[in-house]
């Protein structure tokens, strides 16, 4: 096991942890139904600071346990019977934008709680983070949480790279593997339209269960399988074509949005390929910039009304911070 995939060690409170966001390159939605997915951890971070308190609060909110389903689920899963804790969270990841703000929050809180309760192995942390996210959200796959725990590029249910761990639910088992990072710069751009992941996942599940659904799922599977191979071998032309094909499928299952289509169009002169990323129905797009046109791409997306970020894969997943 490499250092960056080491366990979360035991620490006494106060504990601080940091986790990256995520960007799905291929296979969102289909992964919920067992198809492959390719995701990378983005270098936009969430940081939490956990300390003993007189009451359990999040960012000074006394009512957070009732109001925040992710916080509540994290306490139930990994702070059972624990003393009151004060959690402060700060994040550069826009919320409900498809860029992993909830996965990063969940993984960093679970890592901090894990450290304060004797330490936790990374595979167990990936499983726990998924259970917390799923308890809060009701639906979904472990792609987001495993990526922010692992860092770098990971494939869920696909690829041939180093196996990292498996995540288990009563009805399904997901395999998580490492994928080689080709070292490219990516641009993600938030449309400003927030949406509910759970609603989008339920709508796509209904579409995939309707006539023609299984054939569509098979196409998602093929695109992601080819995409994982293409990214792993650094084949930009193939990746660009597959980004476009994946976007067509996402449009067909109803999770694109006129704003996302407008951003993809605005990106076209400076991007080799682009698609929505995450649950869609709003949220963000990911684009592979033409080499040397990164700044032009950012300008185009900003002019079209989005909030763009130039991102690189964050090689290290959730980690504790030194005091
Ligand atoms: C959300 O970031 C990705 C989805 O595939 C849902 C999931 O995998 O949990 C839409």
The tens-digit pLDDT sequence of the chain (323 residues) is 344 579 999 999 999 999 999 999 999 999 999 999 999 999 999 999 999 999 999 999 999 999 999 999 999 999 977 799 999 999 999 998 999 999 999 999 999 999 999 999 999 999 999 999 999 999 999 999 999 999 999 999 999 999 999 999 999 999 999 999 999 999 999 999 998 999 999 999 999 999 999 999 999 999 999 999 999 999 999 999 999 999 999 999 999 999 999 999 999 999 999 999 999 999 999 999 999 999 999 999 999 999 999 999 999 999 999 87
Residue 163 burial (C-beta neighbours within 10 Å; 0-12, 13-18, 19+): exposed
**For residue 323, what pLDDT is reported?**
76
∠ at Cα 172 (171, 173), nearest 5°? 145
Could you identify the atom of ligand 1 that is nearest to the CA of residue 98?
A: 2
Atom of ligand 1 nearest to the CA of 255: 10
**Are the C-beta atoms of residues 296 and 172 closer than 8 Å to each other?**
no
Q: Is 137 in the pocket of ligand 1 (CB under 6 A)?
A: no
Measured CA to CA, the distance from residue 174 to residue 176 in angstroms comes to: 6
For residues 246 and 35, is the Cβ–Cβ distance under 8 A? no
Q: Are 147 and 225 members of one domain?
A: no
Q: Is the CB of 288 under 6 A from ligand 1?
A: no
Q: Is the CB of residue 279 less than 8 Å from the CB of residue 162? A: no
Centre of ligand 1 to C-alpha 305, Å, is 25
Count: domains in the chain: 2
Shared-domain flag, residues 21 and 121? yes
User: How many CB atoms are located within 10 Å of the residue 199 CB?
Assistant: 12
Q: Ligand 1 pocket: which of 134, 144, 174 to mutate (most atoms <8 Å of CB)?
A: 144
Q: Is the CB of 278 under 6 A from ligand 1?
A: yes
- Give the whole-angstrom CA distance, residue 98 versus residue 298: 18
Question: What distance in Å separates the CA atoms of residue 139 and residue 99, rounded to the nearest whole number?
Answer: 17
**Ligand 1, atom 2, residue with closest C-alpha:** 278
Residue 26 and residue 80 share a domain = yes
Q: How many residues appear in the chain?
A: 323
Nearest-CA residue for atom 10 of ligand 1: 279
Q: Is the CB of 93 under 6 A from ligand 1?
A: no
Whole domain around residue 165: which residue ranges? 15-181+314-320
Q: Name the helix (H) or strand (E) containing 135.
A: helix 122-137
What integer pLDDT is reported at residue 195 of this predicted model?
A: 85
- Specify whether 224 is located in the same domain as 306: yes
Q: Kind and range of the H or E element at 148? A: helix 143-150
Residue 129 is part of a domain; what is its CATH number? Answer: 3.30.230.10
Is residue 98 assigned to a domain? yes
281 and 213 share one domain: yes
In angstroms, the CA 178 to CA 235 distance is: 17
Q: Is 133 in the pocket of ligand 1 (CB under 6 A)?
A: no
Whether residue 201 is contained in a domain is answered as yes
Contact predicate 254/204, CB 8 Å: yes
Using CA atoms, how far residue 261 sits from 17, 96, 115, 146, 193, in Å, is: 36, 18, 43, 29, 13
Q: How many CB atoms lie within 10 A of CB 211?
A: 6
CA atoms of 201 and 192, how far apart (whole Å)? 20
Going by CA atoms, what residue is nearest to atom 9 of ligand 1? Answer: 140
**The pairing of beta strand 153-156 with beta strand 37-52:** antiparallel
Q: How many Å lie between the centroid of ligand 1 and the Cα of residue 24?
A: 9
Question: Are 125 and 52 within one domain?
Answer: yes
Q: What is the DSSP string of 143-185?
A: HHHHHHHH-SEEEES--SS-EEEEEEETTEEEEEEEE------
Q: Which pLDDT value is given to residue 4?
A: 55
CATH code of residue 285: 3.30.70.890
Asked whether residue 7 is domain-assigned, the answer is no
Tell which atom from ligand 1 comes closest to the C-alpha of 32: 8
Are 227 and 124 contained in the same domain? no
For the Cβ of 255 lying below 6 angstroms from any atom of ligand 1, the answer is no
What's the pLDDT at 322?
86
The verdict on residue 28 lying in a domain is: yes
Q: Which atom of ligand 1 is nearest to the CA of 201?
A: 10
Mutate to test the pocket of ligand 1, among 199, 201, 257 (most ligand atoms within 8 A of CB): 201
- Residue 293: both structure tokens together: 């046109």
What per-residue string of b and e applies to 239-251 under the rule 16 or more CB within 10 Å gives b?
Answer: bbbbbebbbebbb
pLDDT of residue 80: 79
Question: What pLDDT is recorded for position 1?
Answer: 39
Which atom, in ligand 1's list, is nearest to the CA of 280?
10
Q: Are residues 177 and 240 in the same domain?
A: no
Has residue 9 been placed in a domain?
no
Interatomic CA distance for residues 6 and 33, integer angstroms = 30
What 3-state class would DSSP assign to 120?
Answer: strand
């Amino acid at each position: 096991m490499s250092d960056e995939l080491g366990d979360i060690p035991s620490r006494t409170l106060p504990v601080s942890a940091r986790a990256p966001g995520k960007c799905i390159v291929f296979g969102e939605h289909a992964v919920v139904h067992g198809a492959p997915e390719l995701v990378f951890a983005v270098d936009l971070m969430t940081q939490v600071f956990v300390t003993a308190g007189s009451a359990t609060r999040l960012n000074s909110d006394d009512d957070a346990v009732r109001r925040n389903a992710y916080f509540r689920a994290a306490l139930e899963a990994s702070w059972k019977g624990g003393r009151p804790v004060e959690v402060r969270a700060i994040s550069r990841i826009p919320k409900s934008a498809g860029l992993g703000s909830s996965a990063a929050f969940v993984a960093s809180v679970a890592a901090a709680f894990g450290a304060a309760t004797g330490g936790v192995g990374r595979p167990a942390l990936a499983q726990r983070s998924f259970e917390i996210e799923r308890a809060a959200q009701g639906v979904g796959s472990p792609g987001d949480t495993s990526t922010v725990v692992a860092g770098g590029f990971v494939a869920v249910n696909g690829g041939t790279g180093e196996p990292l761990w498996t995540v288990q639910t009563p009805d399904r088992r997901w395999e998580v593997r490492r994928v080689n990072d080709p070292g490219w710069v990516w641009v993600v751009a938030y449309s400003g339209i927030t949406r509910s992941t759970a609603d989008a996942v339920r709508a796509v599940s209904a579409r995939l269960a309707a006539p023609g659904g299984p054939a569509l799922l098979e196409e998602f599977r093929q695109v992601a399988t080819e995409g994982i191979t293409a990214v792993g071998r650094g084949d930009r032309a193939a990746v660009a074509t597959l980004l476009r094909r994946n976007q067509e499928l996402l449009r067909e299952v109803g999770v694109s949005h006129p704003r996302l289509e407008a951003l993809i169009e605005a990106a076209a002169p400076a991007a080799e390929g682009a698609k929505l990323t995450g649950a869609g129905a709003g949220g963000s797009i990911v684009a592979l910039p033409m080499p040397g046109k990164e700044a032009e791409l950012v300008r185009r997306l900003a002019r079209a009304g989005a909030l763009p970020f130039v991102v690189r894969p964050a090689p290290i997943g959730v980690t504790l911070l030194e005091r």
